[in-house]
Structure 1
Amino acid sequence: MQSPIRILMLVFMSILVQANGAILDSRCYLEGGGSAESFLASEDMAVGSVIGKLRVNGNPSEDDEVGDINLSLREKDAPVKITPGTKDLVLVTELDKEGVKGPASIYVDVICDRRYSSDPSFVIPVNVRVTDVNDNAPQWVGAPYSLSLSEVTVPGTRILQGAKAIDDDQQGPFSTVEYQILPGHYSMYVQFLNPLDGTLVLRRPLDYETLRNFTVRLRAQDQGTPPKFSDTTLRVNIIDADDQNPKFLEESYRGELIPEANPTQIKIFPEPIKAVDQDEGICAPIQYSIVQSPESKYFRIDSKTGELSLARTLGPSELNNPVTVIVKATQIDNNDRYAFATVSLSRPGTHSDMSVLSFVQKKFTVRVREDVNVGSRILALPTNKPGKHLKYYITDPLQAQFFSIGALGELVLKKALDYEKNVKHNFEVWATDGVNNATAEVLLDVIDVNDWEPRFRQSHYEFTVGNEVVHPNDKPSDLIIGRLEAADGDRNDRLQMTLKGQYASLFDIDSSGNLWMHMDQTINQSIIHLIATATDSGVPPRSASVPVTITMDGVAMAQTSWPSSILGLFGFVVVLFVVVILALSFYIVRMRKTPRKSRNRVHSQAHSTVSSADLVTHEKDPSNGNHMNGNGVGAGVTMSNPINAHGGSGSSLSAGASTILAASLEREAQREREQRERENYTATVRSIVSRASAAHGCPDFDPEIDRDSIINTENRISPTTKKLNWQNGKSELMSSADTIGSAENNLTVYF
């Protein structure tokens, strides 16, 4: 039951409001005059936490004595609720910025009702924005990883480019993934190209004979605080490559000829001849042959089994001295992989120990890759006294730094080979048994291996394109803006440079490293970022990249040569402009020289005025020089300035045209002033002649002279015309002039 007093008070307030509207009901309005509410909530906020308090006027208390508004939500299944009797907005479901476990944002409508009022409900929109937290760890894509590598893979080769981890957090440090190799027994074999790229490269050379496979642990970690991470494994299986020569089971063999028992049989010690491929993963089949020598014609060998026998029955005098035969074992699939072994053959009862020491060949030739390991056995140097305690020497001390010879005559590598420094090694080997000496020549060819990556002179190239334009003859349409320098340590390797980036098509790099910009395309960027990559021609190819920054600072993008059509159009415009200027100048000059008739005519009324004393009045030139007045009875002479006659009607010239015409206009003005002086003199003389003729009644005087206009330019009066008919009465005029006028107005005219 509501209190009667409270009801009366509310009714009274309602009556007052309706009476004059002086009291404003602000219930359900937002504080500050807003129309909606906004809140921020972290996605890790616990369920039941208060998101915020609604800033709405009124009291939603359940106590009727205190409360005057009701708050509720329009949505029935909203992820938030309003605590009854309060303005608190409470979370009821889990939030997730990624929208997987819960809503990524909340939009609800709050209904506010005024108690004890018939006013409609108020709708207050409420927006809850969810902020991201580092709640997701990077997840590897396609993990765990496994790959197979050949043992001849060069260090620096990219062995895995598909390793990638994705973080579901929003863009920013929480989703930025860094990669690393966890410490372990084999972690030194691989590394990531850079921490932000999942590309793996090989760090150390592989050897199938010592390591068949290995496993490393990879970690993907975000940049949160604290960071979240996930680990996976990479298993590398090493594939055996054909990188080793075959090997005989024995370094040398002995054979006895037994012609009595079997004419062609040879008994081999300590075991039958046999060679195997040292690449166990390949185990290529072997074929056998005998190296050509003077004694090889007596023997033959089975190419598959290696069984050595006599080619024919020996005569009593043949092979009485021990001989040495060289057997060669070659891989069927690769003729460059082979090995030698010596077989010393003798007939029973011969004194093999008394033979002269000699190498089985005078010249040994071998080809070796430059990346062969130090300590490897390169070549066997057999003699005709195998098994004996012989001493070997290399006569060249420089070559002795690279090679040594073992007790059994095997050539061993002491120092790493380098194709870029020496492509061949040629030296002489000397052997002695204490009594006899023997020499042989060794020729070793080094096989090039692509063991150097291209290197740029600078780690970052920056170029600025200014107003200067350089156009060599070979590329007149392009602009050279700089040069990139790169080198490769491998001999005979050629470098090819390419550009990558959004605007790479606007530029080009030639074989010399010159960076060209195509002038026939428009560039609207002030700074352009590119990646320059240099790739060598080795096998396998190696490459290196550097960033290139190009600043477009007032670039002169215009072409140095214009098309003929544009030049023709420009020439036509120039000629048209000159013609217009000349026509305008001629018009202005003519207008100034041709006066209007209404102002430039000399008027004579009847005859010139004669003073009361029968004298010709003296005509005075006004101060401005524009009019001539004859003061007399009922007559006057007026002449306007022909220059001023135009007033402001002339065309307005531009500053350039005024400059061009300044000199000509100055000369024209001078001529016009001289013309006006002549015309004033002529008018005065005519006035005097007219008066004199009227006084003497001269019939020969032409009155048309007084009536006609005197034109300043086109109709000039010649000196012969000015004389007229009154020249004939020259003496009479002089006598008449002497008798006319008083002393003060007397005027004498001489002709």
Structure 2
Amino acid sequence: MGLPPTGGGFWITVVVFCGVWSCSHAQISYSVSEELKKDSVVGNIAKDLNIDVQELQSRRFQVVAGSNKRYLDVNVKTGALFVVERLDREELCEGKQKCALHIEVMAQNPVKLYRVEVNVVDINDNAPVFPLQTLVKNITENVVPGDRFSLPGAKDLDVGINSVKSYVLSPNEHFTLDVQSYGEQSISAELVLHKALDRERESVIRLTLTAIDGGKPARSGTMAVIVNVLDINDNNPVFSKPLYKVKVKENVPSGTKLLTLTATDSDEGLNGDVVYSLVDQEGNSASSLFVIDSITGDITVKGKIDYEENPAIELRVQAQDRSLSPRHSHCKVLVEVEDVNDNAPEISVTLLMSSVSEDIKPGADVALITVSDKDDAKNGKVSFRISGHSPFQLQPSYKNSYSLVVSEKLDREQLSQHHVMVVANDEGSPSLSSTGVITVHVSDVNDNPPLFPAAVINIDVKENSPAGERLTTLTATDLDTGENAHVSYSLLDLEGSSTPVSTLMNINSLTGEVYTLQSFNYETIKRLRFQVQATDSGSPPLSSNVSVSVFVLDENDNSPVLLAPYSEAGSVSTESVPYSAEAGYFVAKVRAVDADCGYNALLSYHLTEAKGTNLFRIGSSSGEIRTKRRMSDNDLKSHALVVMVSDHGEPSLSATASVEVVVVESVERVQPSLRQVPLKEEAFSDLNLYLLIAIVSVSGLFLLSLAALAAARCCGSGGALGSCGAPVVTAHPDGSWSYSKATQQYDVCFSSDTLKSDVVVFPSPFPPPADAELISINGGDTFTRGHTLTSAGKVRQLARIH
């Protein structure tokens, strides 16, 4: 596809190549003339690549970094590739026949690369220039017509047709011009004597040599030639042949002989004695790499010959006699340099982005890699590969260019940066290689939630601890980095919870430290359950939860509470004992309860004051007051007893009950219920039946009173989240008791072989342990704290009276 010529004779040619590779790696080739004005349009990339112009801005269509970026740019509004800076072919490519600029154009979303080759075509903007403004030639008068005299060649910075194509000599009667061409870039001119010289007629001949290039219009340069006619030596040295050719390998050691030149002179003596020399050539620095022996004509190497700098070298050799008016002749020596594999491949990498997101899709371009080798033929043919396993792969684009693309899913948490080692090998013998390391940084995305060390966390807190106490520090770790790993904490209520956890607990959102907002009472709250959520600061944020159970540990903060009839503070209960009572006679039973748990609720009973004789004793665990011996006439008739009920907490708390025991004469005056020691008997008498009925009636009334009292206490102390109120004791028709404390239910039963009325309470569904602690209730009923006894395990009371 071509574009119409622009003004000033400039022209542009566009060629689009889309081969076996997709157009994302196509090469567009444009040809433009040098010296285009700034903002001149080279071509329309959007049209040539079949890309909608509307997508150029949204996809951030741009020329990526490179040495040629400063010359060309893309207009994202029109898709035009235009000149940013003046294109001077001679500055860009010096004397090369082909001058091409290679740029890469990148589009985002998705990332695609397009390669553009802009061939800069030479225009005839340079005139030929001679190395000298005036050339002086000394020529003897006896030269014969046909003799030749070398002239320095003109240099033209242009190439091809615009380089020097011909020479013209100003009209004269003695000399003509012989122009010789040795190829497109090699042309020389020699003066040829047309008519014999006569110094006496004309001693100085002034000529003008004009060099003309092949441009349209043509440009030219001139040099003045002054010929001094000398009247001496009339024979020139003659080389065995006008052109010598020789081959030499690059990097040959200094002093290596190339060839020997031979020139002969027909004259005798000094006029026939020939010396050799190399003619300095303007702009041909390679001639300094050789030296010629002036006597023998041997040409040897004195510098380093590099094929990559000069694949072919042209030498001008002069043979001159030793006469006072020397004559000389010239020949050419063409040195063809043979390449050896002395250059390792060169790797050039252009990263398309500073870091790669770990969620980048496979197939995306990451870097552009160019491989080159200065050697020629097989020595310059390069193979390219990635060394070792890598989540990237190479895709050839054109010539020795490759794209580094993602081939596998990346994970920053496993590896935050990849060092991709690439190896380039040429096909020389021996082969040379180069390695390069491309470091690809992987940037983080929020793909990991914060994680707690455990799914459930248990915390203990003592009851009555002050509000604001730090319970623990919860820490969640996040494998991400930066903001994606910045974790904040919050409290969550469990589903169905009646009390918001935010009223009981607080958490530091930055550190995860958990604090109490109030003091806890074990008798009200035994366990508090909630969740803590850890949320990162990513977008979108990720979170995870942990279940937290706070167990309130019991403290001994409740004193024992006496049950009726000894529950009224300051009151004294009166009990009667017959004078004839035997040792072990049952006097009374003191019962008490403690709202604490464990050892803090394990009660023991003691008599603190025993006036008179030592007549009574009390069971430390049952609370039963009994006689220690028979009465005597010396004993008092009234005994004031003080019973202390103490728990086993640290420090221990206690309560006291006052009991007055009166000694009476007649047994009939004493209630025959729980006053006597039960003895084993063989038959169940009518008296026992009456006594049993009386016991049940009294116990029922007593228990109803306790139930009413407990209900009143429960109503007055409502709780939440596992709160427990005052104990409730309920009598059953079968003679057993039920002891309940808020959400805890206890079944109470009487013993079958004594009148102790011990209460043993077991937790459902577990049986009482063998070493369970018995806690006294009502002075004789004992229970194991925290246990429940099912109705099937109740034992009915059997009262036996002797």
TM-score scaled by length of structure 1: 0.35
Normalized per residue, the structure richer in helix is: 1
TM-score scaled by length of structure 2: 0.33
Normalized per residue, the structure richer in strand is: 2
